[in-house]
């Protein structure tokens, strides 16, 4: 039987990023957080991808789109004195559950917040794995932009794309395309094309960390947005990014320093 958390005996709550799905990409810190938990909160697929780590632990599932419910559930369980892990894919702080959790935490009274011991376990993000499997496309300044306008107005997303393009950042595009959002990726490509060469390398990485993983390289002009879906991340190089053999890299500028 659990004891209700108090300021002297705070409820343990870990916010865990489990990586893109491969057991080998779960960080030791994230693994330890899950192993120390009695209760797991998350989307069913994410909990399934934990494999044996999720066994013998209570599972509390909520569907995609129910992120607020998941955050509230995790807070309530921790306040009951349960050792709880709120599980995300990738890194929990990158387009995932950590920010939702803190939004909901901010709505709780101070006396509840003082009864919680919250820790965030860093995870490996999709863009990191995509970059590693492609070479070193994130070798210089980069940014990330989510193309989903479900929570952010498209006008704001478009403004950020223009700024990234003008600043010559390598750009990682998250949530690039879905059945209902089938035009945003093509528009993003047009914005980036206006500021960099047509042969700029583009990495399209799908199903990272899973048996059917696929990482391919194309060019900004030739890649086909219709072949991209929500289970992919797209990395668009800057004006200096190069493709050599099967690899893509963005130079840091050491060659210029030597000259």
- Local confidence band at 5 (pLDDT 50, 70, 90 cut-offs): low
Name the architecture of domain 127-249: 2-Layer Sandwich (3.30)
53-64 pLDDT, tens digit each: 999 999 999 998
Mean pLDDT of 145-169: 96
Give the whole-number percent of the chain exceeding pLDDT 70. Answer: 95
pLDDT of residue 166: 97
User: Residue 75 corresponds to which tokens in the numbers above?
Assistant: 């807070």
CATH of domain 11-124: 3.40.1010.10
Tell me phi and psi for residue 153, to 5 degrees.
-60, 145
40-93 pLDDT, tens digit each: 999 999 999 899 999 999 999 999 889 999 999 999 999 999 999 999 999 999
pTM: 0.90
Spatial distance between the Cα atoms of 45 and 209, rounded to a whole number of angstroms: 14
* Partners of 244 in the β-ladder: 247
According to DSSP H, which parts of 95-224 are helical? 97-106, 110-113, 126-134, 154-166, 184-193
Q: Where are the domains of the chain?
A: 11-124, 127-249
Q: Do domains 11-124 and 127-249 have the same CATH topology?
A: no
User: Residue 97 corresponds to which tokens in the numbers above?
Assistant: 């559950």
pLDDT of residue 22: 87
- 169: Cβ–Cβ under 8 A, 6 or more apart, which residues? 141, 142, 143, 238
């Amino acid at each position: 039987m659990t004891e209700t958390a108090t300021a002297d005996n705070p409820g343990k709550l870990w916010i865990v990023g489990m990586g893109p799905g491969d057991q080998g990409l779960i960080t030791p810190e994230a693994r330890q957080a899950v192993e120390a938990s009695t209760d797991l909160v998350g989307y069913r697929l994410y909990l399934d991808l934990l494999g044996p780590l999720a066994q013998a632990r209570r599972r509390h599932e909520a569907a995609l789109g129910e992120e607020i419910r998941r955050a509230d559930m995790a807070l309530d369980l921790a306040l009951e004195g349960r050792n709880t892990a709120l599980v995300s894919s990738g890194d929990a702080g990158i387009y995932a559950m950590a920010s939702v959790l803190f939004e909901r935490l901010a709505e709780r009274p101070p006396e509840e917040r003082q009864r919680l011991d919250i820790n965030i376990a860093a995870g490996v993000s999709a863009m990191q794995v995509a970059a590693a499997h492609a070479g070193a496309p994130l070798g210089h300044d980069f940014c990330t932009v989510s193309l989903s306008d479900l929570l952010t107005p498209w006008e704001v997303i478009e403004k950020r794309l223009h700024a990234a393009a003008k600043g010559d950042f390598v750009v990682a595009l998250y949530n690039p395309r879905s059945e209902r959002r089938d035009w945003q990726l093509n528009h993003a490509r047009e914005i980036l094309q206006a500021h960099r060469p047509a042969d700029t390398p583009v990495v399209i990485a799908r199903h990272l960390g899973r048996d059917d993983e696929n990482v391919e390289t194309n060019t900004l002009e030739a890649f086909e947005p219709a072949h991209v879906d929500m289970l992919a991340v797209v990395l668009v190089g800057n004006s200096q990014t190069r493709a050599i053999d099967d690899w893509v890299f963005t130079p840091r500028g050491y060659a210029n320093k030597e000259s």
